[in-house]
Amino acid sequence: MNVKQKEIVSLDNSFCIKNNNFIAFITKKNKNKSSDIILKETLMFKGFNFDNIASCNQIHSNRVQFIEKSGVYQETDGLICSLNSKLILLIQTADCIPIFIIDEINKLIGLVHSGWKGTRDSIVQSALSIFFNKGSKKENIKIYLGPSIKKCCYEINEDVSKYFNDKYLISKEQTLYLSLIDRIKDDILIEGIKSKNIFDSQICTMENQEYYSYRRNDNGRIYSVMGYK
The per-residue pLDDT for range 117-159, each reduced to its tens digit, is 999 999 999 999 999 999 999 999 999 999 999 999 999 999 9
Collect all residues with Cβ–Cβ distance below 8 Å to 55 and sequence separation of at least 6.
72, 73, 79, 89, 90, 91, 92
Closest CA to 65 of 26, 120, 113: 113
Residue 103 is part of which domain span? 5-148+180-228
Task: Enumerate the H helices of 29-178 as residue ranges.
Answer: 35-46, 116-120, 123-133, 158-161
Question: What pLDDT shows up at residue 110?
Answer: 98
Q: How many domains, the chain?
A: 1
In a domain, 130, yes or no: yes
In a domain, 156, yes or no: no
Instruction: Kindly report the backbone phi and psi dihedral angles of residue 34, in degrees, each rounded to the nearest multiple of 5, phi listed first.
Output: -80, 165
- Asked whether the CA dihedral 24, 93, 119, 148 is positive or negative, the reply is positive
Each residue's pLDDT tens digit, 93-103: 999 999 999 99
Task: Enumerate the H helices of the chain as residue ranges.
Answer: 35-46, 116-120, 123-133, 158-161, 180-190
Q: How many whole angstroms separate alpha carbon 24 and alpha carbon 159? A: 35
In a domain, 92, yes or no: yes
Amino acid symbol at 180: L
In a domain, 170, yes or no: no
In a domain, 186, yes or no: yes
Say if residues 107 and 84 touch (Cβ distance below 8 Å).
Answer: yes
Each residue's pLDDT tens digit, 28-86: 999 899 999 999 999 999 999 999 999 999 999 999 999 999 999 999 999 999 999 99
Tell me the CATH number at 85.
3.60.140.10
In a domain, 161, yes or no: no
Q: How many whole angstroms separate alpha carbon 92 and alpha carbon 145? A: 14
Instruction: Kindly report the backbone phi and psi dihedral angles of residue 183, in degrees, each rounded to the nearest multiple of 5, phi listed first.
Output: -65, -45
- Asked whether the CA dihedral 12, 136, 222, 177 is positive or negative, the reply is negative
Question: What pLDDT shows up at residue 19?
Answer: 78
In a domain, 160, yes or no: no
